[in-house]
Structure 1
Amino acid sequence: MAAVQAVLSALDVFSRAPDKAALDQANTWLQDFQHSRDAWSTCNVLLLSPDAPAAAKLFAAQTFRTKVTYDLHEMDPADIFRLRDTLVTALQTFHTGPRTIMVQLCLALSGLALQLPAWEDPVQNMIDTFGRAPASVPALLQFLTVLPEELYTNTKIPVTDDEYKERANKLLTANASKVVELLSMYLQATGVTPAIQVQVFNCLSSWLIAGEIQAMSLVNSPLLPFSFNALESDELFDVAVTAICNLIHETQEVEDSMPVIELIVPRVIAMRPKLAEHASDPDQIRGYARIFAEAGETYRGLILNHPETFFPIVEAIGECAAYPDLDIVPITFHFWMRLAQALGKKPSVPPPFLDAYKSLVGIIISHLHFPEDSGSLTGQEAENFRSFRHVMGDTLKDCCYVLGSDLCLLAAYDMITAALSQGPSMSWQKIEAPLFAMRSMGAEVDPLDDRAVPKIMDLIPSLPSHPRVRYAALLIISRYTEWINRHPSYIPFQLQYISGGFEDADTEVNAAAGQALKYLCQDCKRHLVDFLPQLHTFLGSMGSKLAQDDKIQVYEAIAHVISAMPMEQAAQSLRTFSLDILAQVHALAIKPTVATKEELLNITHGLENLEVMLGVIESFGEELPAACRNSAQEAWTFFDPFIAKYGLDYQICERMTRVLRLGLGFFGSTVRPILPAVLTRMSTAFEATGFSSYLWIIGKIVGRFGNDNDPTLRVAFKNTYERTSNKLVQLLQEKAPASIPDVIEDYLQMLLQMVEYTPDVFFPSPAFPIAFRAAMLALTVVHTDIIFAALDLIRNVITHECLSPPSTAPPPPKFPLYAAAIRPVIQKEGLELTGYLLTGLVGDFPEESPPVVVTIFRVLAALWPTELLSWLSAVLQQVPSTAVPDQTKVQFIADMDGAVQSAEYDRVKRAILSLHRASRKARDRRRVAALDM
């Protein structure tokens, strides 16, 4: 009774709206309780006690389901049958509800039936127990509904594949015909209620989805005609729709299913008038659309080969696609896509299908129209509609696949010209929707088209200046730039139209203009070289008026044009645009007063623009043009004083380091003379700010130039390593690693570069113990990239060849120095390292981490065998049994001891993976229990 009271007390916490700490504590206690052996008997008392509250009874039922899944091995065989009888008795008690308890009991019985071969015929037993009295039939139907669902979806039940196949065959396959007869009987029983009929349909769907009831078995069953008749009932409509869709889906083996298809298809086609009859009821139309779409997809081959019989299904799906409710329209999209793919393989498309897709083009474009009252959509509704337009655009591409892009484009073109002919009374929506369609179909356009696209391009100048229309037209230009590249005579006008877009008061139009310019310059860059001075003038006159996002697009566009120039000309052009930005940097660096926030913001924008240009151009190769040969040193004379003065500003730091990283790639080896100064500045800046980006750029420098043997540079690497490590120690004295994840990650990435490229700096330095300890602490940060970086660094250290050099050749001279640095650190940190590794392995490490952990433990077992066993023993005592069962801990220690004693280090892998599997199983169980709370 004490255990019963403890459960009641824990559950009571949930009814009192407690604070989160109390809620978490109660939840954890209940999960731990479900792991215990006492839970069997305690939940038995709770479930069958008439005085227990409903929440306690539900918890007891959930616990039985959980323990049947995970802990059936705890019970003696005789007790398992008593458990079955307890669950059956409880189901008899709750056969009238609550449904939540009934469902959990049925799930528990289903899991038990799978694991208890000695229970000869559970289905018949349940029919005998619950199927005779009308009052208990709902409990039987609930059991029969969840039985296939539990057997096919609960992968946590511990049975082998062979055991599963054998038992599932006895439970499901052998009983399928019996279930069909039973469901038919209940469906037609005198006095049957709609609630029972709903359960019958749900059960039928469950067995159909599982593939246990074959469609052919329903040829002579009343279930099939009654499913269609049930569509006339409001109470049965939804479950009947689902059952019919599942039945149609199960006839995919068309040749084998023709007798039942011959029964289904006439009934489906006969439903088409219902679309007009129920046009005002979206719920009804949605159900019919599901049936028509399922029939269309399943019988696609029959539709194509026998359109005289099956084409009415296509027409019905077309009607559903035309329905104004945009929640219903997408039900048809998958059908149109798959049918288009099939039609595309035919040498010619039959006229009825051409007509269907021509009609579909008009239907989709009509759905693309914004409402006449643009204010009728709320913020989220407007966003949802915009997103859905792109989905509809994909269906227009399917139409292009069948009809050809030129025909589809001309259909949209004709709609626009018809709207324009209405004069001032025209609505912008009638123009914008076809323009959006043209944009969506742009990916299907042939760059050589000379029929449709020229008409579209000639049409753009005559479009009204409404912002939504201009926005759509600009995005058409951005989508058709490959075509424009082959028709460069259109470029002057396109540039003029784009320039006008930048001057529009609407910010979305500005953004569309930027995108259009970017793609025009990207795809037509060779034709735009002569226009570069015009673009430079445009930046000078309009630059200050452009939003930064738009300015980025312009600079990216310019960079694409520069990349198409001869190298010397390109270098000079890049220098011209770069100096505009660097002049601003220099002006602020020498300004006697502190810059304003606005001035700093302008500089960050300028640096971002420079970054974009360098990102596009990337490099001129190893041999830089004359205009760039001294540019690295010149640029650093601008950047160094600027960082010294404003590097404490986070945004400046972020932008500056990103530009520096691209500069390393662009200037290549010509940056070597300034690298010591750059490293010193980055170290000083990190010491002053703690900003991770300074570590990030140091790592990039080491990764690119770490093999350089210049003594000055290696001294700079050493000083940088030690200064940044000492700063990290200071930060970790003030903050937990998890509170500075960016610093931890970039420090680790810097170290990974150092251990690979500068081991002569990395290992002998007094910073090495700091670096190793930082990697260990990083294992506590729940962040995938950080954990992998830390594991990689630790692995690289303890697997370094210096610890076990090959005996066939003398080791490199510095190996003893490296080993002398590594061994005392491992000896000192081994216990904590083992703790972090095991705690993470059974806790928050990513799923892909075990191979790296295995490698680390294999090396530890080989090089520090005695110490490792003592470390493991101490660490496992601290791991809670809820994370790793005590039996698993004992087995793990035994396995590791055996691996060490026999020096068979492959056994370490098996031991680690077994521990990991056990911990994952425990975690999954707790997660399922938490979801059920």
Structure 2
Amino acid sequence: MAEIQTLLSCLDVFSRAPDKASLDAANTWLQDFQHSAEAWSTCNAILLSPDAPHAAKLFAAQTFRSKVTFDLNQVDQTNLLPLRDTLLAALERYQSGPRSIVVQLCLAISGLALQLPAWDNAIQGMIDTFGRNPATVPTLLQFLTLLPEELNSNTRIPITDEEYREMSANLLTANSKQIVDLLSMYIQATGVTHAVQAQIFDCLRSWLVAGEVSASALAETPLFAFTFEALASDDLFDAAVDVICELIHETQEIEDNMPVIELIVPRVIALKPLLREQRDDPEKIKGYARIFAEAGETYRLLVLQHTETFFPIVEAIGECSAYSDLDIVPITFPFWMRLAQNIGKRPSVSPLFLDAYRTLMGVIVGHLHFPTDITTMSPQEADNFRSFRHVMGDTLKDCCFVLGTNPCLLATYNMITTALSRSADALSWQEIEAPLFAMRSMGAEIDPHDDDAVPKIMDLIPSLPNHPRVRYAATLIIARYTEWINLHPDYIQYQLQYISASFEDSDTEVSGAAGNALKYLCQDCKQHLADFLPTLHTFLGTTGSKLAQEDRRQVYEAIAYVISAMPMERAAESLRTFSLDILAQVHAITNKPTMATKQELQDVSNSLENMEVMLHVIQTFGDELPPACQNSCEEAWAVFDSFLTKFGSDYDLGERTTRVLRHGLALFGNSALPVAASVMTRLTAGFDATGFPSNLWIAGKIIQRFGDEENPSLRKTFQEAYEHSTQKVISLLQVKSPGEIPDVLEDYIHLLLELVVHAPDIFFQSSAFPLAFRASMAALTLVHSEIIFQSLDLFRIILNHDCLLSNSQQPPKFSNYVTAIRSAVDKEGFALVGYLLAGLVGDFPEDSTSTVVSIFRVLAALWTSQLLSWLPPVLEQLPTTVAPNQAKSQFLTEVTSSVNLGQYDKVKYAILTFDRASRKMRDRRRVAPLDR
């Protein structure tokens, strides 16, 4: 009784608005309860209690299902059949509902039947128990519906593949004919209700989906005809549609199912007139659309081979595509796509299909029209419609595939010219914008060498009405057609003029489209645009400040593409020109005698972002810098050094500056070596003062680039960065949890990885090493896969270092490395093993297991006695909810045996077994008790 009261109290927490701690505590107790052996009897008592609340009864039923899946080994073999009888008695008790409890009990019985060979002829037993009384037939149907689904989807049931095949065949395949006969009898029974008939259809569909009832077998029963007849019933319509779609799908092996297809197709075609008769009922049209689309997709080869017979299906799908409800239209899209693919493989095709796709194209363009009054759409509706337009755009590409791109482009071109021929009063912007959007969607299909359709479109753009939506669509056409423009450079000047005018539009979406178009124009036509760079430079000086930063950034990106295509000398001069503008702004703000305003700081941050994007595109000029760049590195660093001195404590400015420095490092390469020591010193001071991880990030990049240089002053800065950053990280960890500074730990670990690879003498011989070892363990507690991988790699490199090998030829300094490593592991090994095992059974990513194995193997070989002394208390600390006691004992036994026998490689199998046992527990607990 005490346990039941506790259970009821925990469940009551979920009925209120609890705090997270209460919710977690209740959920944990319920999960632990579900694992316990006592849960069997407790849940049975709750189900038998008339006074137990609904939530408790539902939880009890869910627990039975869970325990049948996971914990059947807790039940003695002699009690398995009594357990079955207990579940059947509970099902009889709740035959009238609630349905949620019936479902869980049916799932539990299904799982038990799969694991209980002693339950001979379980299906017949269920029919005998529940199938004779009309009052209990719905319960039987619920069980028969869920049985195939549970057997085919619940992969957690612990049986072998062979056992599964045998039991599944006994339960499903051996009984399929009996089930079809039973359902046929029930569907025609005197007094059968629509509710029961809908259940029959659901059950039939479940067995069809499972592949246990064939289309040919179904066609020989009354169920076949009744399914189509049921479409006339509002109560049965949805269930009948589901069965018909599944029945058609099951006949996709055309040659094997022709007799059935010959029965299905006339009945499907007979539904076509209903599309007009019931056009005011979108739910009915949706059902018909599903049937026609399924038939079209499944029989599309027959449609092409026997067009006269099957083409009414295509016409019906076309009517569904033209329906006004845009929730229904996409049901037809997969058919049009797959039919187009099949048409494309044929040497010739009936004109009927060409007409169908021409009609479809017109229909899609019609659907692309925005409402006459766009303000009638809510923001969410507008977003959904915009997203759906791109889906419709894919169907336009299918039209291009069948009809050819040029005919489709010319068709949309004619739509626009026809609209423009009317008076302005009779013209709506939607008539222009929708075909323009279609042209944009079809842009990926155009031939870059075309001299027919695309020139007409390009010549048309300047004459379009100056409406924001029209200009937006036209500007994005330019963005999509830049590969064509590259081969027709005479159009570049006119397109640049149109793009420039779009930048000046007050509509932010139009100016955004202009930035996008300029970026792609410069990316694809860069070799033609070098002479336009002065114009773009002037444009930035005059109009650039008026642009939103996103648009301005795209302009700089576009300029960078042009520079990247220029001869090296000229490219360097151009990059210097645009960079000096930004550096002058950085220099000015640094030397401003008064405090900079918030807007001024934002402006300089934006400018740094623009420089970053330029450098990202250009990358590098190579090992030999052109003359224009010879002194640029020192000059630029002088500006940034002063800037960081003054503004490095501003997180955003520091982050932005270091991103520029990273790309600058790639640009200048070895030419940056003279300033590397100064940069390291500034970054070390910056991290010391602020704790901003971007300083560590760039310091690691510099060590990665110059770590092998034998430069005493530079290597001194490496050591200073190592020691100062380690002290700073340790001090941060004293006041913050690792989870509060994941970015710091990530960049710190990255710095250490570069040091251990490029400067191991500094890494191992510094007094910072023991502290760095300890700080790196903190990173193992984070739920960040990339950081976990980096941290584990660091420990793997340390513990697998060559200095630990028995080799008389080792350099003298290796003895210092060994001393440092052994001292650190002797001191921190217990904690390290704790972190590794806690992560293994906790939040370590799955792919990290091999690295954990590598680390453990070294510990087993070189710290044998210590490892065996560390493991028992570490294992004791692991929660049994993720590391069962049996798994802990097995792990300790296997590791001890491997170590004592000197078979250190076998530690791997102990870890893998322990990991599998833990994952099984975690998989189970991921499902909240009330969600099972």
TM-score (norm: length of structure 2) = 0.99
Q: Distance in 2 between matches of 1:19 and 1:667?
A: 55
Q: Distance in 2 between the 1:564 and 1:833 partners?
A: 52
Once the two structures are TM-superposed, the CA of residue 25 in structure 1 deviates from its matched residue by 1.3
Residue type at the aligned position of 1:867? Q
Give, in angstroms, the shift of residue 13 of structure 1: 2.7
The aligned counterpart of 2:458 is 457
1:859 aligns with 2:827: no
Alignment of 1:758-907 (within 5 A): 758-805=759-806, 807=807, 810-907=809-906
- Provide the residue aligned with 1:619 in structure 2: 620
Q: Which residue of 1 aligns with 2:292?
A: 292
The 1-side partners of 2:537 and 2:41 are apart by 82
* Residues 17-65 of structure 1 deviation map (CA, whole Å, 9 limit, x = unaligned): 4333222211211110010010111111111222222222111111111
Name the structure 2 match of 1:593.
Answer: 594
State whether residues 687 and 724 of structure 1, in contact with CA within 8 Å, keep that contact through their aligned partners in structure 2: yes
CA distance in 2, matches of 1:480, 1:28: 58
Distance 2:582 2:8 in 1: 70
Q: Deviations over 1:752-775 (max 9, x none)?
A: 111111111111111111211111
Residue by residue over 1:551-604, the C-alpha shift from the partner in whole angstroms, topping out at 9 and shown as x without a partner, is 111111111111121111111111111101111111122222221111111111
Equivalent residue number for residue 142 of structure 1: 142
The 8 Å contact of residues 59 and 930 in structure 2, kept in 1 or not, is answered as no
Quote the residue 1:661 is aligned against. Answer: 662
Q: What secondary structure, in the 3-state scheme, does the structure 2 residue paired with 1:763 have?
A: helix
Q: Given residue 469 of structure 2, which amino acid in structure 1 is its aligned partner?
A: R
Quick one: which amino acid aligns to residue 565 of structure 2? A
The answer to whether residue 209 in structure 2 is matched with residue 209 in structure 1 is yes
Question: Which one-letter code corresponds to 2:756 in the other structure?
Answer: V
Contact 1:218–1:260 (Cα < 8 Å) also in 2: no
Q: Kindly indicate whether the alpha-carbon contact (under 8 Å) linking 1:66 and 1:929 is maintained by their aligned counterparts in 2.
A: no
Range with greater deviation from structure 2 (810-819 or 215-224): 810-819
Cα deviation for residue 929 of structure 1 reads 4.0
Q: Distance in 1 between matches of 2:272 and 2:521?
A: 48
CA contact (8 A) 2:568 2:621 kept: yes
Give me the whole-angstrom Cα distance separating, in 2, the residues matched to 1:817 and 1:340.
71
For 2:323, the equivalent position in structure 1 comes to 323
Displacement, 1:514? 0.9
Equivalent residues of 1:488, 1:527 under 8 A apart: yes
* Ranges in structure 1 where 5+ consecutive residues have no aligned partner: none
Q: Deviations for 1:784-826, whole angstroms, at most 9, x for unmatched residues?
A: 1111111111111111111125x4x612332211111111101
Matches within 5 A, 1:15-54: 15-54=15-54
1:507-656 correspondence runs (5 A): 507-656=508-657
2:62 touches 2:930 (CA, 8 Å); kept in 1? no
- Structure 1 residues 931, 400: CA separation in 2 closer, same or farther (over 3 Å shift)? farther
Task: Deviation per CA, 1:849-897: give whole Å up to 9, x if none.
Answer: 2111111111111111111111111111111221111111111111111
Instruction: Give the Å deviation of 1:931.
Output: 5.1
> Structure 2 counterpart of 1:113, which letter?
A
Summarize the alignment of residues 453-532 of structure 1 with structure 2, pairs less than 5 Å apart: 453-532=454-533
**Is the contact made by 1:620 and 1:666 (CA closer than 8 Å) also made in structure 2?**
yes
- Match in the other structure for 1:70: 70
* Paired position in structure 2 for 1:706: 707
Q: 2:649, 2:686 within 8 Å by CA — same for their partners in 1?
A: yes
Whole-angstrom CA distance in 1 between matches of 2:9 and 2:473 = 63
Q: Does 1:61 align with 2:61?
A: yes
Sequence identity, in percent?
Answer: 66
Counterpart for residue 283 of structure 2: 283
Between stretches 627-636 and 841-850, larger displacement belongs to 841-850
- State the distance in 2 between where 1:298 and 1:185 align: 30
1: CA distance, partners of 2:476 / 2:549: 19
Name the counterpart of 2:89: 89
Structure 2 gaps, min length 5: none
Partner of 1:337: 337
Is the CA contact 1:854–1:909 (under 8 Å) kept in the aligned structure 2? yes
Residue identity in the other structure for 1:320: C
Alpha-carbon separation, structure 2, partners of 1:834 and 1:305: 68
User: Could you state the TM-score of these two structures normalised by the residue count of structure 1?
Assistant: 0.99
Preserved contact between residue 396 and residue 440 of structure 1 (Cα < 8 Å): yes
The one-letter amino acid of 2:385's match is: F
What amino acid is aligned across from residue 816 of structure 1 in structure 2?
S
Instruction: Supply the AA of the counterpart residue of 2:178.
Output: K
The one-letter code matched in structure 1 to 2:351 is P
Q: Number of residue pairs matched?
A: 931
Using the alignment, how far apart are the partners of 1:774 and 1:617 within structure 2? 38
Native 8 Å contact 1:683 1:720 kept in 2? yes
Aligned to 2:442: 441
RMSD: 1.1
Query: What does residue 916 of structure 2 align with?
Result: 917
In the alignment, what sits opposite 1:717?
718
**Partner secondary structure for residue 285 of structure 1:** helix
2:267 maps to what in 1? 267
Listed one character per residue, the Cα deviations across residues 661-711 of structure 1 (whole Å, up to 9, x for unaligned) are: 000010011110110000000011111111111111111111111111111
- Tell me the CA shift for residue 648 of structure 1: 0.8
Verify the 8 A CA contact 1:349 1:402 in the aligned structure 2.
Answer: no
Contact 2:27 2:928 (C-alpha < 8 Å) held by counterparts? no
State the shift of 1:4 in Å. 2.5
Contact 1:589–1:645 (8 Å) recurs in 2: yes
Residues in 1 aligned to 2:503 and 2:18: alpha-carbon distance in whole angstroms: 56
Q: Tell me which stretches of 4 or more aligned residues in structure 1 moved more than 6 Å.
A: none
- Distance in 2 separating the partners of 1:141 and 1:439: 52
- 1:680 is matched with 681
Aligned to 2:350: 350
Aligned counterpart, 1:176:
176
